Structure 1
Amino acid sequence: MNPAAPRPRRRAERRVAAVAAGCALLLTLAGCAEESSSPGDADPTSAADELDLAPDDDGFAPLPLYFVALSGQYPSGVTGAQIGCEDLLLQVNTVPMKTEDPVEDALNFLLQDQQYRHGDPALTNSVLLSSESLTLQDYEIQGDTVEVNLSGSVVTRSVCESYRIRAQFEATAAAAAGVEDARILVDGEDLDTLLGLDPFERGEQITTD
């Protein structure tokens, strides 16, 4: 197969029961050697891109998710990219789980999360503000980009929160699809345009003290 050829578009049914159960799983910060009951309680030891997300022999693999540490409230000893209002975008992984569709399950995990804040200092999930108004429809991977189609309304409370929502969606979709970039559409409109933001660029990678 030509690796640059588009993968078939997939219909993303909202498997609420399965993903809701997944939200009860333990989370670990990328690169963490120990499991934790909350993203903010982890003790990371290496950069996120060093973590192996490939399924094991039984088909189990962690889902890569992205959460945000707010400016001035960074956890210690973590590595992430600065975004928006000097917030820090951090990769967080579920414990290994069996999934036939990591892109769908990772995005629905964010939408169906039960808490805005996790741990202390907290990692935040601004995506869940749209949990009652936004639905994942489908996605398509072509080359090094995944295009995600959502339907409904994006709920945001500020420009800073808009940056967080966009960053979480794009980074999570790209990581789960195993590609470099993501494009997010809401009822056919680009999320950047909808939120009035410039195209997404991750800032400098920093490691906190």
Structure 2
Amino acid sequence: MHQRVIKIAIVDDHTLFRNGVARMMDEFNELDVLFEAGNGQELQQRLQRHELPDVVLMDINMPVMDGYEATLWLKANYPQVKVLALSMYEEDKAVLKMIRNGASGYVLKEASPLNLLDAIITVDLKGVFINELVSGKLMHSAQHKHDDIRLTGKETEFLRLCCSELTYKEIADLMFVSPRTVDNYRESLFLKLSLKSRSGLILYAIREEIFKMPV
């Protein structure tokens, strides 16, 4: 059971959405909404005047300073603060960039208040939130190591390389295999891990410590 109250901040340039999320999250006893900000620059200003949040809900596309830059700055200056990216769509490219910049996962903006609460608690406790990216099998066993899943050496190597900015074609070249073989590794991992996107593979690799996030 999660005991302590988690301090959060919400960074989004859409005022109505941001206010709505703040009000909904304030309803939960588990959370304390410290402040809101309209972009990364406002976040920097608010941090000078407020207590440090445990988790920041970070929109990706914002004016002045977007979520990518703000997350990079936050992880460089306050690495203990966890970032949950807020996304309108399940876009691998945007999510991958946020993860590489230090985000611990992402939540779709259409998520229910309870799902968002679950994401915040999960990322606070475990450091990574993967639920939006996976299907039932991995969600069901998210608290356990996957001892029953056996990855080949090549699959593990492919998984690590997935965490880079390389394209699948570049990964194939680096592994000295054909693009078709890399496609097979990817489809095999999707099947074994019940995943559906490259973002899911990356977050799985981080959670299982196959890939270490740079500190």
Tell me if TM exceeds 0.5. no
Larger radius of gyration: 2
